[in-house]
Amino acid sequence: MSKESVLALINQSVKDQQLQAIAQKVSQNERITTDEGVYLFEHVELGYLALLSNYIREKRHGNKTYFNKNFHIEPTNICVFDCKFCAYSRFLREKDDYDAWEMSEEEIYEAIKAYEGQDITEVHIVGGVHPKMGLAYFKNLIENIKAIRPDIHVKAFTAVELDYMCKKAKVSYEEGLKILKDAGQGSLPGGGAEIFDTEIRKQICKDKCTSEEWLAMHEAAHNVGMPSNATILYGHIEKPIHLVDHMNRLRELQDKTGGFNAFIPLKFRNGNNQMSNINEVSIIEDLKMFAIARIFMDNFNHIKAYWPMIGRKTTQLLLSFGVNDIDGTVDDSTKIYSMAGAEEQKPVMTTEQMIDLITAVNRQPIERDSVYNELRDYSVTELV
């Protein structure tokens, strides 16, 4: 839809001057304010959010929808922290914590070798914050993974894991990140951000790194030449003002470094955790979150829906609400969401299924690498 038609439609159909002003800004590539962000959450109907976010999405990416061929490794779910929303972590406080796991180094290398000969481009490694797995352990692990699979991009460790390992090793964030980068790490995933507002963070994850530390870690990563992603955990006790504050802090850091690739809203799932009394939000709230993220985060090139978390059908819908990236084939036993009741209990999609999911809603499937170089356009090449 053209700029003129988006504006005309909004101007003709609503008397809401604030929405008209926002639409005007969107059509002129201008940034909206935090007050306007909150206004979108509180007063604007989903149809208008769809119109604006899809306009931005198509202006930036047309119908292109990115995915990659990746797999996940979660070395352990043993964690020194106790986030209230986490269904996955175990701290072996009691010896009979039967569903705690800890992969041996050999098991990790075997998991990498299992993909030999397959055109996978990325391994995503995150897990609990294990008191015994430190910087030296992970440096060695990454070096060995790269020795087995030199071509693979290692996206690893949330800022929470990195903060813990740097502090324990008594090195600055930049020093720690340089060690990992030299070992072969390529980028950072976006986890651990949750909600930056101090009060909300205190209530849902009071003992892990602070918001300031999370942001400082990502700034340090960008400074040493490692790009990263950013997430937000929405749909629990937060209010629109906290969502907008969170996005604003990321937008400011992105202005400074330009090092973020994608913004990934993560829907709070209420299974088996200490916040199970909180209802999950409706699909309307999901669509709103992604659409407003697309409108507000004007300096983030990609808005990603992590399909194992949000489900395949909602992912398809989200491709008309600002989303242009759906992560990867994932192939794995990733448990951080399945244990909290996410849509997919054992998420894996073949390339063919990925292509079908995207083409079924008239978008263009593009395989990308971890830093968004386009590898293959599946709308013009045959799957072999």
- Residues lying near ligand SF4 in the complex (CB under 6 A) are found at 79, 81-83, 86, 88-89, 128-129, 160, 205, 208
Assess 196 for contact with ligand V47 (CB under 6 A): no
Residue in 123, 266, 293, 354 binding ligand V47, rule: CB under 6 A: 266
Closer by beta carbon to ligand V47, 36 or else 294: 294
Assess 194 for contact with ligand V47 (CB under 6 A): yes
Minimum distance of ligand SF4 from residue 133's CB (angstroms): 13
Question: d(Cα 309, Cα 45) in Å, to the nearest integer?
Answer: 25
Minimum distance of ligand V47 from residue 12's CB (angstroms): 39
Q: Which residues contact 201 (CB under 8 A, 6 or more apart)?
A: 194, 195, 210, 211
Q: How many residues bind ligand V47 (CB under 6 A)?
A: 21
Both tokens of residue 347? 């998420």
Element (H, E) at 201: helix 198-205
> CA separation (Å) from 145 to 73, 249, 372?
12, 34, 22
Query: Per CB under 6 A, which of residues 218..257 are in contact with ligand V47?
Result: 229, 231, 233
Assess 336 for contact with ligand V47 (CB under 6 A): yes
Q: Which residues contact 179 (CB under 8 A, 6 or more apart)?
A: 135, 139, 171
The alpha carbon of residue 19 and the mean position of all alpha carbons in its chain are separated, in whole angstroms, by 28
Question: d(Cα 272, Cα 310) in Å, to the nearest integer?
Answer: 17
SS3 92: coil
Both tokens of residue 184? 């072969």
In the list ligand SF4, ligand V47, none, the entry touching 81 (Cβ below 5 to 8 angstroms by class) is ligand SF4
Question: d(Cα 193, Cα 176) in Å, to the nearest integer?
Answer: 19
Closer by beta carbon to ligand SF4, 65 or else 89: 89
Query: Per CB under 6 A, which of residues 69..108 are in contact with ligand V47?
Result: 85-87
Minimum distance of ligand V47 from residue 177's CB (angstroms): 16
Minimum distance of ligand SF4 from residue 225's CB (angstroms): 26
346 neighbors 338 (Cβ within 8 angstroms) = yes
In the list ligand SF4, ligand V47, none, the entry touching 231 (Cβ below 5 to 8 angstroms by class) is ligand V47
Binding residues (CB under 6 A) for ligand V47: these are 85-87, 158, 189-192, 194, 229, 231, 233, 264, 266, 268-269, 273, 306, 327, 336, 340
